[in-house]
Amino acid sequence: MHIVVCLKQVPDSAQIRVHPVTNTIMRQGVPTVINPYDLFALEEALRLRDAHGGQVTVLTMGPPMASDSLRKALAYGADRAVLLTDRFFAGSDTLATSFALSAAIAKVSQTFGAPDIVFTGKQTIDGDTAQVGPGIAKRLDLLQLTYVARIAELDLAGRSITVERRAEGGVQVLRTRLPCLITMLEGTNEMRRGSMADALRAARAEVVTWSAADAGIEDLTKCGLRGSPTVVKRVFAPAARAETAQMVPPAERDAAASAEVLIDALFTRAPALEADLARLAAGY
Amino acid sequence: MIDETFDAIVVGAGMSGNACALTLAQRGLKVLQLERGEYAGSKNVQGAILYADMLEKLVPDFREDAPLERHVLEQRFWMMDDTSHMGMHYRSDDFNEARPNRYTIIRAQFDKWLSRKAQEAGVTLLCETTATELIQDAYGRVIGVRTDRTGGIVHADVVVLAEGVNGLLGSRAGLRAVPKAEQVALAVKEMHFLPSETIDARFNLKENEGVVIEAAGTLSKGMTGMAFLYTNKESISVGLGCLVSDFRDGQETPYGLLEAFKRHPSIAPLLAGSEVKEYAAHLIPEGGYRAVPQLYGDGWLVVGDAAQFNNAIHREGSNLAMTTGRLAAEAIFQIKSRREPCTKANLALYKTMVEESFVMKDLKKYKDMPALLHTQSRNFFLTYPELMSKAAQNFLRVDGTPKIDKEKATWRSFVQRRSWPGLIGDAFRLARAWR
Contact assignment for A195 to B195 by CB distance below 8 Å: no
Predicted local confidence at residue B287, as pLDDT:
87
Q: Kindly state whether residue B135 falls inside one of the protein's structural domains.
A: yes
Q: What is the mean pLDDT of residues B196-223?
A: 94
Q: Which residue has the higher pLDDT, A25 or B222?
A: B222
CA distance A180 to A172: 17
**Which residues in chain A have their CB less than 8 angstroms from residue B198's CB?**
none
Question: Residue A24 pLDDT more than 70?
Answer: no
pLDDT tens, residue by residue, A206-225: 999 999 999 999 999 999 98
Tell me, yes or no, whether B297 and B353 share the same domain: yes
* B38 and chain A in contact, CB less than 8 A: yes
Tell me, yes or no, whether B196 and B154 share the same domain: no
Interface of B with A in 161-220 (CB under 8 A): 193-195
Three-state DSSP at A55 gives: strand
Q: Kindly state whether residue B62 falls inside one of the protein's structural domains.
A: yes
* B106 and chain A in contact, CB less than 8 A: yes
Contact assignment for B150 to A31 by CB distance below 8 Å: no
Q: Is residue A164 a contact partner of residue A148, using CB atoms and an 8 Å limit?
A: yes
Q: Kindly state whether residue B160 falls inside one of the protein's structural domains.
A: yes
Question: Residue A248 pLDDT more than 90?
Answer: no
Predicted local confidence at residue B175, as pLDDT:
84
- Cα separation of the two ends of chain B: 52
Mean of per-residue pLDDT scores for chain B: 92
Taking the CA of residue B147 and the nearest CA in chain A, the distance in Å comes to 8
Question: Residue A94 pLDDT more than 70?
Answer: yes
Confidence class for position B173, pLDDT limits 50, 70, 90: confident
Contact assignment for A196 to B147 by CB distance below 8 Å: yes
pLDDT tens, residue by residue, B279-326: 999 999 988 898 899 999 999 999 999 999 998 888 899 999 999 999
Q: Which of B124, B193, B194 sits opposite A200 (nearest CB)?
A: B124
CATH number at residue B47: 3.50.50.60
Above 0.85 for ipTM, yes or no? Answer: no
Taking the CA of residue B196 and the nearest CA in chain A, the distance in Å comes to 11
Mutate to test the interface with B, among A34, A72, A196 (most CBs of B within 10 A): A196
Neighbours of A190 (CB within 10 A): 9
Q: What is the mean pLDDT of residues B384-398?
A: 88
Tell me, yes or no, whether B134 and B208 share the same domain: no
Whole-model pTM: value is 0.85
Amino acid residing at B80:
M
Tell me, yes or no, whether B43 and B186 share the same domain: no
For chains A and B, count residue pairs whose Cβ atoms are closer than 8 Å.
47
* B46 and chain A in contact, CB less than 8 A: no
* B42 and chain A in contact, CB less than 8 A: yes
Last residue of one domain, picked from the residues B327, B342, B365: B365
Question: Residue A21 pLDDT more than 80?
Answer: no
Peptide bond between residue B265 and the one before it cis (omega within 30 degrees of 0): no
Q: Kindly state whether residue B88 falls inside one of the protein's structural domains.
A: no
Interface of A with B in 180-199 (CB under 8 A): 193-197, 199
Contact assignment for A196 to B109 by CB distance below 8 Å: no
Q: How far is CA B433 from the centre of its chain?
A: 20
Mutate to test the interface with B, among A71, A200, A207 (most CBs of B within 10 A): A200
- Cα separation of the two ends of chain A: 63
Task: List the domain range (segments joined by +) for residue B260.
Answer: 182-285
CA distance B406 to A268: 60
Predicted local confidence at residue A251, as pLDDT:
75
Predicted local confidence at residue B239, as pLDDT:
96
Predicted local confidence at residue A261, as pLDDT:
86
- Tell which residue, B406, B309, B412, has the closest CA to residue B366: B309
Q: How far is CA B288 from the centre of its chain?
A: 11
Last residue of one domain, picked from the residues B365, B380, B403: B365
Q: Kindly state whether residue B77 falls inside one of the protein's structural domains.
A: no
Tell me, yes or no, whether B405 and B350 share the same domain: no
Q: How many domains does chain B have?
A: 3
Confidence class for position A23, pLDDT limits 50, 70, 90: low
Tell me, yes or no, whether B305 and B429 share the same domain: no
Nearest CA in chain B to A193: B149
Cβ neighbours of residue B273 closer than 8 Å, sequence gap 6 or more = B194, B198
DSSP string, B142-208: EEEEEESSTT-EEEEEEEEE---TT-HHHHHTTSSPPPPGGGEEEEEEEEEE--HHHHHHHHT--TT
Contact assignment for A199 to B129 by CB distance below 8 Å: yes
Predicted local confidence at residue A20, as pLDDT:
63
pLDDT tens, residue by residue, B82-134: 999 999 999 999 999 999 999 999 998 999 999 999 999 999 999 999 999 99
* B151 and chain A in contact, CB less than 8 A: yes
Tell me, yes or no, whether B248 and B393 share the same domain: no
Q: Which of B124, B152, B195 sits opposite A203 (nearest CB)?
A: B124
Beta strands in B43-106 (DSSP E): 49-51, 68-80, 85-91, 102-105
**Which residues in chain B have their CB less than 8 angstroms from residue A17's CB?**
193, 277
Predicted local confidence at residue B142, as pLDDT:
96
Tell me, yes or no, whether B40 and B154 share the same domain: yes
Q: Kindly state whether residue B424 falls inside one of the protein's structural domains.
A: yes
Predicted local confidence at residue A27, as pLDDT:
66
CATH number at residue B195: 3.30.9.90
pLDDT tens, residue by residue, B237-261: 999 999 999 999 988 999 999 999 9
Last residue of one domain, picked from the residues B316, B335, B365: B365
Question: Residue B416 pLDDT more than 80?
Answer: yes
User: C-alpha dihedral over A10, A12, A15, A17, to 10 degrees?
Assistant: 10
Least confident piece of the model among A231-235, B105-109, B140-144: A231-235
Question: Residue A86 pLDDT more than 90?
Answer: yes
Tell me, yes or no, whether B187 and B173 share the same domain: no
Mutate to test the interface with A, among B30, B126, B155 (most CBs of A within 10 A): B126
* B39 and chain A in contact, CB less than 8 A: yes
CA distance A179 to A106: 13
Three-state DSSP at B407 gives: helix
Q: How far is CA B131 from the centre of its chain?
A: 23
Tell me, yes or no, whether B261 and B399 share the same domain: no
Q: Kindly state whether residue B158 falls inside one of the protein's structural domains.
A: yes
Predicted local confidence at residue A29, as pLDDT:
65
Predicted local confidence at residue B432, as pLDDT:
78
Mutate to test the interface with A, among B150, B271, B279 (most CBs of A within 10 A): B150
CA distance B295 to B325: 12
**Half-sphere exposure of residue A31: CA atoms within 13 angstroms, side-chain side:** 15
Predicted local confidence at residue A99, as pLDDT:
96
Contact assignment for A200 to B150 by CB distance below 8 Å: no
Predicted local confidence at residue B254, as pLDDT:
94
Nearest CA in chain B to A30: B109
Q: Kindly state whether residue B190 falls inside one of the protein's structural domains.
A: yes
**Which residues in chain A have their CB less than 8 angstroms from residue B153's CB?**
196
- Tell which residue, B349, B332, B350, has the closest CA to residue B341: B332
Taking the CA of residue B231 and the nearest CA in chain A, the distance in Å comes to 17
Q: Which of A21, A75, A197 sits opposite B2 (nearest CB)?
A: A197
CA distance B53 to A257: 72
Question: Residue A176 pLDDT more than 80?
Answer: yes
Nearest CA in chain A to B153: A196
Q: What is the mean pLDDT of residues A169-182?
A: 95
Contact assignment for A196 to B193 by CB distance below 8 Å: no
**Which residues in chain B have their CB less than 8 angstroms from residue A194's CB?**
149
Tell me, yes or no, whether B341 and B353 share the same domain: yes
**Which residues in chain A have their CB less than 8 angstroms from residue B133's CB?**
none
Q: Is residue B32 a contact partner of residue B6, using CB atoms and an 8 Å limit?
A: yes
Tell me, yes or no, whether B21 and B118 share the same domain: yes
Predicted local confidence at residue B97, as pLDDT:
93
Least confident piece of the model among A134-138, B220-224, B330-334: B220-224
**Which residues in chain B have their CB less than 8 angstroms from residue A193's CB?**
148-150
Question: Residue A168 pLDDT more than 90?
Answer: no
Question: Residue A196 pLDDT more than 90?
Answer: yes
* B109 and chain A in contact, CB less than 8 A: yes
Predicted local confidence at residue B131, as pLDDT:
95
